[in-house]
Chains A and B, each alone.
Chain A
């Protein structure tokens, strides 16, 4: 498993996702690729950040910000 997937998984095991967002463990994605296709905005946003920081081509702060906020502003 790639490091970025490990990182993503450790974020997705945070209890907030279960307690506040009602996500069940079994419906959580295992890889960044899966998470990028998630229909749950917070999961996809985390995946965007992981891909931006530990993906194949890391991005700058402003690009990361644009990607994440643009996605969230449109999705919500």
Chain B
């Protein structure tokens, strides 16, 4: 599609009828500030997107001034385009009626469309429909840019989604990943419901479900932390780089930063080696026993004394026992080893009867009380009775003297303490060595801290030798060290969060596997198989979508860098890098410049503009490929940071690019200091272009009186 003509009638500074007959390729519209460039851009923008309100603000003051009260005139912007050999004219206009001096009423606007086929046959069509057909709204969005700031389309989070919708087949895959998740979730639910019918594992299952939910919540929380930490790191790195860019001696600063980082790492390493966890050592390493030896000695002596006493008692006891045994043995020997009669013969009753009758009924002799025979019988009875008592006591004879052998245990304890004494004696040395080690490391750290301070002072000196004003510099200095500290802390946070996430993920995996195990034993097997297949399908859908996104981004990146190299020929050799980041609910793309893999956070405006224009050209080229046609691009003051020389270079380079471009710039104009007359500089002759215009206010004019303002269009 080519814009062949733009006609602007009575629109602000464009008094009466003004025509721009445009060409394919590069069209340059020159103009001083305030002489009609931006109004041209706004007129085209009004044609494309303008709303039906405050139309009286768009009326040419000069035209209104010349109109009689009660008379009307038309305010109009019209565009003639050529597409596939057909011509279309789209006109947006409204009627302005002068009500009194400097005041007018307006009608609503109308958009008219005329379609003209190759044989010159014209048909009236709906203007808006025609516009949207030949120059779709979404593409218009990437066709018109006002100023340098607007060029950065990736400022908006929705940019990627828009571009993908327009230019990539990746858009078709979005719904698949969504549906894949939906189907998998339903299948998981079916399995869960089936598993829950099995009451055997009910409570364990519930517990697992609860734990999984908690872990997932925790994981999401840490993902948010990690994301925002990474964003913070990028911000801080950007701030530091900006601060560093103000410093004249950037190399020295780089070296200093490296050294500071190394010293900080050393300090951190040494601090890590200092072990001052004395409480743990006190108990776990038995330091508390450092003075144990004297207590042990006292203990050992007591145990030894006790043991001796015990042995003595035992020995006395054993002796007594031996005597008893000896007595029994001696008695036995008295009978000449003959077996003595049992004590119960004659029986107790007979003995008592014989004593009572005073007759020995064994030998049938009288045994009067007091006689030898009577005494003998009496003795026998006594022996017998004693023998009965002894028999009852006899089992007690075998009872040990000490029922429990605590003394032995005390002995063993004392021996084991004795063995440990060797190690305990070393504790004193260990403590001494540790204290010495910690003291030495502390001294090292102190030295390093001194070194660090020196390096930091040196860095501040370098930062002080800066290219920015003192007030701003003090801000930078104030923040610089804080940013460095923040960066260190955030980097640590990043490591911590990543580790935590990893552990949460593995815990989650274990729980899910446990739950799957219950599912396998409890749920219907076909439900499990369905779920497993749907899990795989979800993986396939999500991966494919990401792959398509990445392919698109890669394509955009390659194209952008091709343009970037062309625009920045002989200059900065960095690369535009697109990075896809998955936010919680959406995917966004971040664009950055990198030099040797290092992010270039704060490029100057001219570099930034080159980058943004390169991306826009890349998008335009993509649009050409996908829609199989070219669309025009209109830029108002895109290169204001370039300077004339670079602008000329830039124009010569984009002259080579394919599609139609309309560029409004204020360069190449010269105002004579004496006569105040405007002219076009000679240098513009060397700028390659297909067509050029000069919009210039008719002289003389009064800048404070709009009625004198009329932009004239001069075709060069």
Residues of A within 8 A of B (CB): 3, 6-7, 10-11, 14, 16-17, 20, 41-42, 45-46, 49-50, 53-54, 61, 64-65, 68-69, 72-74, 76
At the interface, yes or no: B20 with Cβ under 8 Å from chain A? no
Number of interface residues of B (CB under 8 A): 28
Flag whether B226 is at the interface (Cβ < 8 A): no
Contact between B533 and A41 (Cβ–Cβ < 8 Å)?
A: yes
A73 engages B526 (CB within 8 Å): yes
Chain A min CB distance to B184 (Å): 11
Choice from B190, B537, B544 contacting A10 with Cβ under 8 Å = B544
CB < 8 Å: which of A20, A53, A68 contacts B175?
A: A53
B646 contacts A by Cβ under 8 Å: no
Q: Is B173 a contact of A69 with CB atoms below 8 Å?
A: no
Asked if B186 and A65 make an inter-chain contact with CB atoms under 8 angstroms apart, the answer reads: yes
- Nearest neighbor of A6 in chain B, beta-carbon distance: B169
Q: How far is the CA of A41 from the CA of B526 in the complex (A)?
A: 12
A72 cross-chain contacts in B, Cβ below 8 A: 526, 529-530, 533-534
Partner of A64, one of B169, B172, B183, B525: B183
* Interface residue ranges, B against A (CB under 8 Å): 169, 172-173, 175-176, 179-180, 182-183, 186-187, 190, 525-527, 529-530, 533-534, 536-537, 539-541, 543-544, 547-548
Check A7–B529 contact: CB distance below 8 A.
Answer: no
Would you call B536 and A42 a contact (CB within 8 A)?
yes
Query: Whole-angstrom distance between the alpha carbons of A17 and B525 in the complex?
Result: 22
Query: Are B537 and A46 closer than 8 Å at their CB atoms?
Result: yes
Alpha-carbon gap, A65 to B173, bound state (A): 18
- Select one of A3, A68, A69 contacting B190, CB under 8 A: A69
Q: A7-B173, A69-B190, A72-B533 are in contact. Are A14 and B183 (CB under 8 A)?
A: no
30 of the cross-chain contacts (CB-CB < 8 Å) are: A6-B169, A7-B172, A10-B547, A10-B548, A11-B541, A11-B544, A14-B539, A16-B539, A42-B533, A42-B536, A42-B537, A45-B537, A46-B540, A49-B176, A50-B176, A53-B179, A61-B179, A61-B182, A65-B186, A69-B183, A69-B186, A69-B187, A69-B190, A69-B534, A72-B526, A72-B529, A72-B530, A74-B526, A76-B526, A76-B533
A22–B158 alpha-carbon span in the complex (Å):
40
Residues of B within 8 A of A7 (CB): 172-173, 176
- Chain B residue numbers with a CB within 8 Å of A11 are 176, 540-541, 544
**The residue from B175, B182, B530, B543 contacting A76, defined by CB atoms under 8 A apart:** B530
In the complex the two chains form, what is the Cα distance from A74 to B534 in whole Å? 14
* Chain B residues, CB < 8 A from A10: 173, 544, 547-548
Query: Which residue from chain A places its CB closest to the CB of B186 in the assembled complex?
Result: A65
**Shortest distance between the CB of A24 and any CB in chain B (Å):** 17
| Residue in A3, A20, A53, A54 whose CB lies within 8 Å of B536 | A20
B179, B187, B533: which has the most chain A beta carbons within 10 Å?
A: B533
Nearest first, the 7 closest Cβ-Cβ pairs linking A and B are A76-B529, A72-B530, A14-B540, A73-B526, A76-B526, A42-B533, A11-B540
Minimum Cβ distance to chain A for residue B181 (Å) = 11
> Are A49 and B537 touching (Cβ within 8 A)?
yes
Give the shortest distance, in Å, between B536 (CB) and chain A (any CB).
6
B183: chain A residues within 8 A (beta carbon): 49, 64-65, 68-69
Instruction: Provide the residues of chain B in CB contact with A45, threshold 8 Å.
Output: 533-534, 537
Q: Are A73 and B530 in contact (CB under 8 A)?
A: yes
A11 to chain B, nearest CB (A): 5
Q: How far is A65 from B179 in the complex, measured between Cα atoms in Å?
A: 9
Contacts of A41 in B (CB 8 A): 533
Assembled-state Cα–Cα distance A61/B180 (Å) = 11
8 Å CB contact of A54 from B172, B186, B529, B544: B172
Q: What 8 new A-B contacts, CB under 8 Å, besides A11-B540, A73-B526, A74-B526?
A: A11-B541, A16-B540, A45-B534, A49-B537, A50-B176, A64-B183, A68-B183, A72-B529
Please give, as numbers and ranges, the residues of chain B lying within 8 Å of A20 by CB-CB distance.
536
| Contact (Cβ within 8 A) B530 A14 | no
Give every chain A residue within 8 A of B539 (Cβ-Cβ).
Answer: 14, 16
* Chain A residues with CB below 8 A from B536, complex form: 16, 20, 42
Residue of A nearest to B533 (CB): A42
Once the chains are docked, how many angstroms separate the CA of A49 from the CA of B547? 19
Shortest A59–chain B CB gap in Å is: 10
B540 to chain A: closest residue by CB: A14
Of the candidates A46, A61, A69, which one forms a contact with B530 in the assembled complex, judged by CB atoms under 8 Å apart? A69
Q: Shortest distance in angstroms between A76's beta carbon and chain B's nearest beta carbon?
A: 4
Closest to B525 in A: A76
- Cα distance A20–B539 in the bound complex, in angstroms: 12
Nearest opposing residue in chain B for A54, CB measure: B172
What is the bound-complex CA distance between A42 and B532, given in angstroms? 10
Determine the chain A residues whose CB is within 8 A of the CB of B186 once the complex forms.
Answer: 65, 69
Q: Are A3 and B533 in contact (CB under 8 A)?
A: no
Complex CA gap A45/B547 in Å reads: 21
For B176, what are the chain A residues with a Cβ–Cβ distance below 8 Å? 7, 11, 49-50, 53
Set of chain B residues within 8 Å of A65, measured between Cβ atoms: 182-183, 186
In whole angstroms, how far apart are the Cα atoms of A73 and B191 in the complex? 12
> Cα distance A67–B374 when bound, in Å?
123
With A10-B548, A64-B183, A65-B183 already in contact, the answer to whether A73 and B540 are too (CB < 8 A) is: no
| A65 CA to B181 CA, complexed, in Å | 11
* Shortest CB distance B641–A (Å): 43
Which residues of A sit under 8 angstroms from B541, Cβ to Cβ?
Answer: 11
Cβ-closest chain A residue relative to B182 = A61
Given contacts A10-B544, A42-B537, A69-B186, contact A64 B179 (CB under 8 A): yes
Instruction: Report the bound CA distance from A3 to B169 in whole Å.
Output: 9
Contact A14 B544 (CB under 8 A): yes
Chain B residues within an 8 Å CB radius of A50: 176
Closest chain B residue, CB of each to CB of A17? B540
Chain A residue with minimal CB distance to B173? A7
> B527 near A73 (CB under 8 angstroms)?
yes
Q: How far is the CA of A63 from the CA of B476 in the complex (A)?
A: 62
When distances are taken between beta carbons in the complex, the residues of chain B under 8 Å from A17 are 540
How many Å from the CB of A30 to the closest CB on chain B? 17
Of all chain A residues, the one with the shortest Cβ separation from B169 is A6
Least distance between A60 CB and chain B CB atoms (Å): 11
- Minimum Cβ distance to chain A for residue B130 (Å): 28
In the complex the two chains form, what is the Cα distance from A10 to B546 in whole Å? 12
Q: For A14, give the chain B residue with the smallest CB separation.
A: B540
For the complex, what is the distance from the CA of A3 to the CA of B548, rounded to whole Å? Answer: 14
Nearest A residue to B190 by beta-carbon distance? A69
A9 to chain B, nearest CB (A): 10
Interchain nearest-CB distance for B222 vs A (Å)? 28
Residue contact A3 to B540, C-beta cutoff 8 Å: no
Cβ–Cβ < 8 Å partners of A73 in chain B = 526-527, 530
On chain B, the residues within 8 Å of A42 by CB distance are 533, 536-537
User: Which of A14, A42, A50, A72: most chain B Cβ within 10 A?
Assistant: A72
In the bound assembly, the distance between CA atoms of A30 and B470 in angstroms comes to 69
User: Once the chains are docked, how many angstroms separate the CA of A65 from the CA of B187?
Assistant: 9
Closest to B180 in A: A49
Give bound CA distance, A41 to B529, whole Å. Answer: 10
